Structure formats: structure tokens, C-alpha cells
A and B are shown apart, each in its own frame.
Chain A
Amino acid sequence: MNEEKEDSTYEVPIGPIHPALKEPFLIKFKLDGEEVVGADPHPGMNHRGIEFMGMHRNPMKVIPLSERICGICSIVHQHMYTTAAEHAVGIEPTNRARYIRAIMCELERIHSHVLWAGVAAHEIGFDTHLHFTWKIREEVMDLLEYITGNRVNYSMWTIGGVRRDITEDMHPKIFETLEYYEDLYEKLEEIFLNDPSIKMRTKDIGILTEEDALSLCGVGPTVRASGVKKDVRIDQPYSAYGDLDMDYVVPSRYGYEDKGDVFSKTLVRLKEVLQSISIIKQCVEKMPEGEITSEDNKAGLLNKLKNMGGEGIGRIEAPRGEAIHYVRLKEGEEDIDVWKVRASTYNNLATYGPMFMGEQIADIPIIAASIDPCIGCMDRAEITDVNTGETRTYSEEELHELSVQKTEELVDGGIE
């Protein structure tokens, strides 16, 4: 970097508080005028020491704790933790439980992706779309409540299976909800993929090349949008996914370019909603009869976990991408010996670097949202002039306003 350029760079911390839904999170941006020349994420506002807490509890007590790692992907962490514990001591869940687990995972994927679409629309100033997507999201929340008894945090998982059955009398309600989404799907696609003004704000913005996606170990829709075929459900099928018919969702499969911009990420997420619907249908059809858990005796199970050592891995495809838990139990010890939790956003943090490079301040919100960060947060931006040391603070509203303004300007500029 030459001297002139260095003089004109600014640093912009964004975060860590946001009024809408996301967790506290801070990103420091280096700016050269309008252009972003560096992004440095600072997580940790939400660090609760989950692994430390888990390592001081017995394996059964960790099940509800694992569910509360994240409220949007509560199923994901429970699933990984129980799978890892099962692997460690060699317990096999029943096949019926595997199918129920897969159905629940896909229902969660639908609600997570629909939620994301709303947030993305909000970031570029389309609040009607935010309200529309949140309205249709309520349908799947109703179904989840119908099956599990709660809207969020379902307490469905246990080591060896699940705690609630999906019986035949629940099928009509499940199909009804799936049909609702199928009917609406065209409209969703029309809004997010064909609307000219949304296209202008999402195309060619926040590009992640296939090369970067691979070398930075990115996961989930974030890298699939760049054409990288990574999907744990297909690569290393867990639960019931090995029995099902599915393929990698990459833009080129639908006749689009594997570009890795925000548009491709939107496309992948929307197509995955469709994929989830098909998976749930297959699961309901193929679900075998039988017990829902292989470990009925909870006291016996705890005893077993206490007396058997071993290490295990639980690795699944969360709505945001691959996530992994590692559990080690020590023979004769009550508490878990080691518990490592790795969520999807953890790996995707590194992809922020190339994605923000060369973009404008007004595009920061939508790019930050494009990886669907579980800890994404656009609250206030502080701009420090390196020369004078002056600090200017953008509030979240101002930043949002900038983003909305850009949309308006583009629309005024004329859509063909």
C-alpha cells in the first residue's frame, strides 16, 4: 500500500448491539473513502463459556444445555451432541428415531431459510418482504409446535433416539404445511430472484470465489453458492439421509452461474426450502415402524455413559452449513471430559475477508447478512480518520438508511 492510500484509510467498527434479532457482534472495517479495504470480525460478546459449563456437567445435563447454544438452530446442536455421545459409547439410535430426526432438521431448515430471506430483504430496505416472509414462517412454527409442544427449543432429542413420536395422525397437518409452502414458492422466487431492484442490490455483490471458499474452509449455502459441493447430508449421510434421494444445491444445477455473490446465496437458500419439502415427504413415506428410542431407562443410560469411556464425533449439515461436536467421556467419571462445539458461522467468519473487499459502506449490511451469521450484527459504525483521529459514529439506523438510499437511487436511476 502506498503512502497516499494509507493516509486515506479509515477504520469502522460495526457492532455490537442491534435492535432487531441478531446477537451482539462487532466487525471492524478499514475504509478507503467509500470502499472497504479490510474487514476484521470480533466475536465474543456472546461468549458464555458453553464448553466449559458442559465439561463440568454429566452427559444427560448437557442435552438441554446444548439446545440452548443457539435458539435458531437448537435442533442442530442437540443433534450433534447426542450423535457424538452415541458414537462415543456405541449406542445406536433406532431407525424410526433417525427418520424423525431428519424430519425435524428439515423443518428447522425451512424456518431458518425463510427467516433469513426476510432479514436479507430488510437489510436492503424491503420491509414489506420482511413482514411477508415472517408471516409465512409462522406456518412452519405452528407445525413445529404441533409436533413438539413448543415454538423454539423443542427438547426432542435424547441419547439413543427422540422423546416424541411423529404418528400417522400428524401426517395430514405436515402435508398441509408443506403444500402451503409449495403453493407460495413461486411467489417467493418471484420476489427474491426476479425483482429487478432486488437483483440490482444482490447481483455481483459480496463475491466469494470457489477458490477462496475451498481454502477458507467455508461451509453451507455460503460456499455452495460459489459452486463448491460440500453438504454433509450427501457427503457423509447421517440420520436417515443415506436412504433419501437428494443432490447438491448449487446455482449451476438450475441454470445460473456459480458466482458466489449475494444473489447466488439467496438462490441456494430458496432452492433448499424446496429440497427440504421433498426430503420431509420422502421421510414421512419411508419412516419405519418401531421404538423411538433405544435407551428407555434413563438412569441406566446415565450409568452406562458414566462407566464407558470413548470419543465421538457428531457432524451434521445445519441450515447455515456444516457443524461439528466432539465429545470424549472418561471411564468412571461423571462429567464429560472434553466437549468441543463448532457452529457453522465459526468457519464462515473467515469468508468475510474476501467478500467485503472493494465493496461500499451501503453494501455492508447485506453482505454481512449473506452468510446468515448466527452472530450477525449491524448496530453502529464508528469511522475513525487515521490522520486527525476524529471519530464519526454511524448508528444502525444511519447505516440501514444508507443501504435503503442506495436501493432508492438505483430504482430511481431506472430499471429496464
Chain B
Amino acid sequence: MWQVLREELAPKGFELVTVGLDTLGAAGCRPFIEAAAPKHPSLIDSTHQLANKFGVINIPQAVWIDENGLIVRPAEVAPAPPQPNSRIRLPADPGQMPSRFVEMMGEAVKIRQEGETYHVALRDWVEKGAKSVYAMTPEQVIARSRPRSVDVALGHAHFELASVLEHKGVHDLAVKHFKEAHRLVPDSWTFRRQAWSLEKVIDGPMQRFWQGPDPEKLEAWPYAGDWLADIRKVGAVNYNEPWQP
């Protein structure tokens, strides 16, 4: 559990900063943050600055920064914290659940989680600092950071523009720039999931999790992919890259 781990490590000079990536800002993140009632800084990033600045392309991902403000591990997969209680509750009777959600959950359970190794590494670094085998040198950090071509950088600019257009209520134009971002940064799950989550295909609390076309109106879906199609394309087991010490 992240909060428990944070309490354990805080006396050793450690702090956890959680950042919710959401175009909808506080409105989108609020129920989850309020349910978790964090004691650590819990921030909101409505334009995915973590993508530009650190190379975050998926969630959950984390970056380690030492006492001197040096990154010692670049953005990489980090095991999910326990789901807050407010996490959307699925109907008790799966028979009531739309088949898309049943299929999505079937894929989600295959996503790789390597929490134990990761937390061992984190405790080791908090204990030993630069002497920890898990703390990288600046050269290693740069080399291990995400690849970024000229096209990828351009895709980030499109994504940032799309985020603000969505804020301003210019949804169609936002979609155009989200699509450019998806084309130019094909390995970013957050860029895609963010855009998909803004499409109002169904009503109700599960709206943002639908992330795909209305089966009755396939042609109305504006994006090339969707959560279920894309995860099947890569294989759910490959959704998270394996964590490497």
C-alpha cells in the first residue's frame, strides 16, 4: 500500500508525491483523492506535464529524485497502489454488466504487476541512497529515459494544445490534436486513454471507463483505436514494460 509505505519511509527522509494526469483536472481526480485522504502532496496535472518533463507514457509510472534534486530512476512502470474504496464499484451481478466491461476486465487481469521487486528496490534506495544498486548515475538515467524523436516531441505539443482546447470546450478541434498526438507518439497509453476517456459514449459513473465506440454506432467513434482493441493488439501482458533493475 502506497500510503502505508510512505508512512514507513517518511522518517527516513522520504516523500511521496502523487500526480493525477487528467484533462478534467480537479473535477476528474477529486473523488479518488478525497477517498484516499493523502498526507503527502497530491497534485493535479491537467496537461500531462509529466509526459513532457519526465517521459511518462503510461500509468502507473514513477520517477525517483534524490535529496539534491537529481533523478536517479527515470519514468518507469511502478506497481499500482491498492484501489481506493471509491474506485468504481462494478455491479454485484456480472450479468448486468455490459459485455464490453466484462471483456475489458478479462484483459486487465492479465496486465503484468511486479510490485514486490519494485518495493524492495525502493526501500533499498531510501536506506542506502547513492550506494543502492537501484540508484542510477546521471548518464544511466538519461540513457534509460524514453526515446524521443522529433516526431514524438511534436506529438507532445499537439497533446498539450488538445488538452487546453478541451478545457475551452472546443472538443472537435481537441480531438483533431489528440489524434495527431496518438499518431506521433504511438507508445503513449496515457495520451490515448486520456482522449478516449473524454468521449461520452455511455451515461453514468462508468462513462470514462468505456473508452471505445458505441457498438450500435461504430462510425461515431473518432479515434483509430480504443482500449479493448489496442490492448488486444499488443497483448495485455505487454501493457507494462517489464521492470528492470
Asked if A and B are interacting partners, one says: no
Q: Name B's A-contacting residues (CB within 8 A).
A: none
Q: Name A's B-contacting residues (CB within 8 A).
A: none
